[in-house]
Amino acid sequence: MIIRMESNIQYRDFSYYYDRLTTDIDYQMWSNYIIEIINRKNLKSKRLLEMACGTGNISINMAKLGFKVTAADFSSDMLSVAYSKALDNDVSIKFLCQDMANMMINEKFGVMLCLCDSINYLTDDNQIISLFNWAYDHIEDDGILIFDINSPYKLRNIIGNNTFTYNEDDIVYIWDNYLNDDTVDFYISFFVKEGELYRRFDEIHTERIYKIDQLTQMLRHAGFSNIEIYDGFTFNSPSIKSERINFIVQKNNS
């Protein structure tokens, strides 16, 4: 086996294999959960922003349901995949290459999404504060921000200091995780078959471990007062062993 190595750049080559390697994510279930939240809140606005949209699976589902969708991601490669998929699905979405920690959209939205534990990728308090402040200023009155996190339990006990592998004839990855005090570093090596050779590329990702009260305090500091917190994809209170925690944050007009 001959391997050609490439440098570490997040979501470059990985973007084109992301959907294949994340088939465990049920995007339809996720979209249905979002719709149930919107219906429970009796929201009428169809203006929706998804930050850190990745390859656009949720954005495409929401566009199919009649929402006017803007989708942003810092990776131009992920956006390229998302744009192609939007064309294939015959939906119109405005795609923007922007970092969720430094949003520069001068519009307001009735619904904002930041999903798939993207918040955990913001490892500095100032990044989180910047996002929440921007969101508060750009959510319509009574609009909502929906986001989720990988829980401390999941990052410390399931992901941290563990290794995961994926092995098919044409693609293999080795995913090593290293737990620090309040972060987990992901070191992922991919081997993709191209002809008779395998090409290697590597990515390094870091997720920060956030406690619920940390994020709640930051949300309140940004101006949000109506904050609901649930176990993943339910309307039940999270438990100590919840793996995904969902936040539903509404901007009151009072």
- Confidence class for position 194, pLDDT limits 50, 70, 90: confident
CB neighbours of 124 closer than 8 A, spacing ≥ 6? none
pLDDT digits (tens, 9 = 90+) for 92-121: 999 999 999 999 999 999 999 999 999 999
pLDDT digits (tens, 9 = 90+) for 35-80: 999 999 999 999 999 999 999 999 999 999 999 999 999 998 889 9
Task: Report the alpha-carbon distance of residue 186 to residue 199 in Å, rounded.
Answer: 20
Dihedral of CA 225/231/233/236: which sign? negative
pLDDT digits (tens, 9 = 90+) for 182-191: 999 999 998 9
In degrees rounded to 5, what are phi and psi of residue 170?
-105, -5
| Domains contained in the chain, CATH given | 13-151+210-250 (3.40.50.150), 155-207 (2.20.25.110)
Structure tokens belonging to residue 170: 């044409």
Is 9's pLDDT higher than 90? no
Residue 177 and residue 150 in contact, taking contact as beta carbons nearer than 8 Å: no
